A and B are shown apart, each in its own frame.
Chain A
């Protein structure tokens, strides 16, 4: 096997304990060059801890991890010279301008002055920040900061880009712009691993989803395969005051799986036409009838309990 056909990331039995608490429990996966893989899961699933292990920011309690052929954490510094990392909260330097942020960060990679001079305009353009080279960080909007964080992670022309919740806390329009940027990087052949708890983000960006909960991998497939194999094809979502009355007479066959979350009922099945027709007589009920999506898979596999903290 030639080195280029080796997986970019190989994790085997990766485990992390904090005291007696097992946060990541013997997970194994491999990510190939050119993949865009989304790591999904509710709070406390072990996503961020897994990312921290990937970049060598925390040592695994057990298991084996190789990134770009480097053993992590032993050889993590050499590995980090070849990857880009975008942290969950922007850690740009507020004392510096946009351009200075890039220049200072390039020094950590030992890039030559000539290289930096040619790289900075390229990256500013990629991040649509050409006019902001001399702006201070606190003059930038949230979306601009995020794009600069991504540009900064690309200074060293990484072979792998790791992003922890890249669009959390951003406006919908800004999220679209970030997605566009990430899709462009993906088209250019960059391997991307990102965590998210937005299903639409995962569905749009990622060719592959690793769904985690309680430190385990619950599913590992493409979004399409997950929706096809892990959930009924359609769902009817019903909410409103007259729900109990309708339920008593509703034509719900045994093949229909039902779930309740607060005031809402969810009915999953292949053929729900008659169920939908029966709802038309109840004016006080609201419903939607749609094909199942990744969020339904997520909720089915991880449950509907609230996870705080």
Chain B
């Protein structure tokens, strides 16, 4: 077991070192952009909207932005950078010539992608707390949730990458799944305002459930009932990781 984790960490540390070398631009995309959305929409739109579900609009939006940033951080690296490592740099080929297998690479990558989500979530939470948008210390419980969100969307992104023959392929996933999820999961407005068939469709996907867990935590409430929602991203994480391992084995060991 210790040996298995050591192999996963070797892959994780390779990615962490590469990230550190380009952290400045990586942070700009993963951190500054969501904050622009938070402030522009939160204060701009918030002045028309007033209160939503008993909190200021920007307070409401904070939970949504935390959730989508966690999703995006893992998604984009799991698509574009993982594909580059696999197909362009042949980093995975080099790793597979060492005593590691496909499962080690996928597990190490998924852990790293979740770490990206955690970095993005931590920074946004810190700024939001500094602005007084976070109610209480309960909000720290957001961080493990953000990590789970990263496991889920990181694994899904790798699964998509396992089917990709070029970067163009990712447009389908982003346009047909990621974007609708951002718009229909209760990020910008309450989920309950959507018509029932749309709600049903969005509830099948993981992001809505992440928002449902994060929002009360940002608002300073811990409700045990909300944690059931976590089963959805956890199930997606396990399902997508296993499927991705199977796919990459067929693709790379042939």
Question: A104: CB under 8 A from chain B?
Answer: yes
User: What is the CB-to-nearest-CB distance from B7 to chain A, in angstroms, rounded to a whole number?
Assistant: 7
Question: B100: CB under 8 A from chain A?
Answer: yes
- Complex CA distance for A224 and B179, rounded to whole angstroms: 67
Whether A108 contacts B253 by the Cβ 8 Å rule is no
Question: A93: CB under 8 A from chain B?
Answer: yes
Interface 1/0 per residue, B13-51 and A, CB below 8 Å = 110011001100000000000000000000000000000
Interface 1/0 per residue, B98-110 and A, CB below 8 Å = 1111000000000
CB-CB under 8 A from A18, the residues of chain B are 254
Question: B6: CB under 8 A from chain A?
Answer: yes
Interface 1/0 per residue, A89-124 and B, CB below 8 Å = 101111110001000110111100000000000000
Among A55, A58, A93, A109, max chain B CB count under 10 A is at A93
User: What is the CB-to-nearest-CB distance from B22 to chain A, in angstroms, rounded to a whole number?
Assistant: 8
Whether A93 contacts B18 by the Cβ 8 Å rule is yes
User: What is the CB-to-nearest-CB distance from B245 to chain A, in angstroms, rounded to a whole number?
Assistant: 14
Whether B94 contacts A89 by the Cβ 8 Å rule is no
Interface 1/0 per residue, A212-256 and B, CB below 8 Å = 000000000000000000000000000000000000000000000
- Complex CA distance for A57 and B6, rounded to whole angstroms: 21
Question: A78: CB under 8 A from chain B?
Answer: yes
Whether A100 contacts B17 by the Cβ 8 Å rule is yes
Question: B168: CB under 8 A from chain A?
Answer: no
Stretch at the interface among B52-60, B85-93, B156-164, B187-195: B85-93
Whether A109 contacts B18 by the Cβ 8 Å rule is no
Whether B90 contacts A108 by the Cβ 8 Å rule is no
Question: B234: CB under 8 A from chain A?
Answer: no
Residue of B7, B14, B254 near A58 (CB, 8 A) is B254
CB-CB under 8 A from B22, the residues of chain A are 95
Count of A interface residues, CB-CB < 8 Å = 26
Residue of A58, A104, A108 near B17 (CB, 8 A) is A104
Question: A157: CB under 8 A from chain B?
Answer: no
Stretch at the interface among A79-87, A264-272, A296-304: A79-87
- Complex CA distance for A100 and B14, rounded to whole angstroms: 10
Question: B196: CB under 8 A from chain A?
Answer: no
CB-CB under 8 A from B89, the residues of chain A are 91, 93-94
- Complex CA distance for A147 and B51, rounded to whole angstroms: 65
CB-CB under 8 A from B21, the residues of chain A are 95-96
CB-CB under 8 A from B94, the residues of chain A are 87, 91-93, 105
Given contacts A77-B99, A91-B94, A93-B89, contact A107 B13 (CB under 8 A): yes
Whether B99 contacts A55 by the Cβ 8 Å rule is no
Whether A107 contacts B93 by the Cβ 8 Å rule is no
Whether A57 contacts B13 by the Cβ 8 Å rule is no
Residue of A85, A87, A95, A153 near B90 (CB, 8 A) is A87
- Residues from 67 to 82 in A contacting B, C-beta threshold 8 Å: 77-78, 80-81
Question: B222: CB under 8 A from chain A?
Answer: no
Question: B232: CB under 8 A from chain A?
Answer: no
- Complex CA distance for A77 and B99, rounded to whole angstroms: 5
Whether A109 contacts B99 by the Cβ 8 Å rule is yes
Question: A59: CB under 8 A from chain B?
Answer: yes
Whether A109 contacts B90 by the Cβ 8 Å rule is no
- Complex CA distance for A43 and B23, rounded to whole angstroms: 44
* New A-B contacts (10) at CB < 8 Å, excluding given A87-B94, A93-B94, A153-B97: A18-B254, A77-B101, A91-B91, A91-B93, A91-B94, A93-B18, A93-B91, A96-B21, A105-B98, A108-B10
- Top-4 shortest CB links A-B: A108-B98, A91-B90, A85-B97, A107-B10
